[in-house]
Amino acid sequence: MSVAGINGTANYPVYTPGKATGNVSNNNFSQKINQAKAGSVHTLHWFDTSEGDQPLGALGDKGNSSITVYKPKDFDPENPVYKVKMWDAEGNVTERIVDVSKVDAKNSDRVEMFAHACYLTDSGQYPEAQSTFCRIPIFDEQPGNLSDSFKAGEFNWLELAKSFMQMQYDAGNLRGYLDYKKFVDFFA
């Protein structure tokens, strides 16, 4: 059985309450679920604002680091500035202000680009910007956790998206290809 609409998922286990099917036996199912749960702790700080700012997007990792983008209570569309808070694994918070009108998709770090993608989604200029951005992984580095990866430097997001666009095309995933193409075309 495959997951509807996703190519390449034909051999994933499928769970029906009371019994396991696919590649996981009944005896092994709870063990597999517990292993998955143990390695999948994600803490998202969504409502962690006393200033009345509106959360627009959040990312978390299994290392218990997270980042949240907020639209300030006094947001001015003429001066689109967002607040970004990052939590490390120990719960320490770093705050950053991002002027999304100055973000360059060809040369920006992950904090800037994530804030910009949240802005584009929130403003309706490009409703899929945030979800497409979140699907652009960085393979050439292996940060210890999310907070490290958001300090990792600047990237050319258009080139990264183009490489994943080509990968989707080569795999025969036309929908994935078109999703990345829309991202590339928007910023080109």
pLDDT tens digits along 171-183: 999 999 999 999 9
Question: Could you read off the pLDDT of 148-165 as tens digits, one per residue?
Answer: 555 567 889 999 999 999
**CA nearest 86: which of 72, 65, 100?**
65
Mean pLDDT computed over every residue of the chain: 76
Q: Quote the pLDDT of residue 49.
A: 64
Give the gyration radius of the chain's Cα atoms. Answer: 19
Q: Between the ranges 20-24, 39-43, 101-105, where is the mean pLDDT highest?
A: 101-105
Which amino acid appears at position 74 of this protein?
A: D
**Residues 6 or more apart in contact with residue 54 via CB below 8 angstroms:** 70, 71, 73
Res. 105 pLDDT band, cuts 50 70 90: very high
DSSP category for residue 76: B
140-150: average pLDDT: 47
What pLDDT is recorded for position 125?
96
**Residue 170 vs residue 41, higher pLDDT:** 170
- Please provide residue 18's backbone torsions phi and psi, each rounded to the nearest 5 degrees: 95, -20
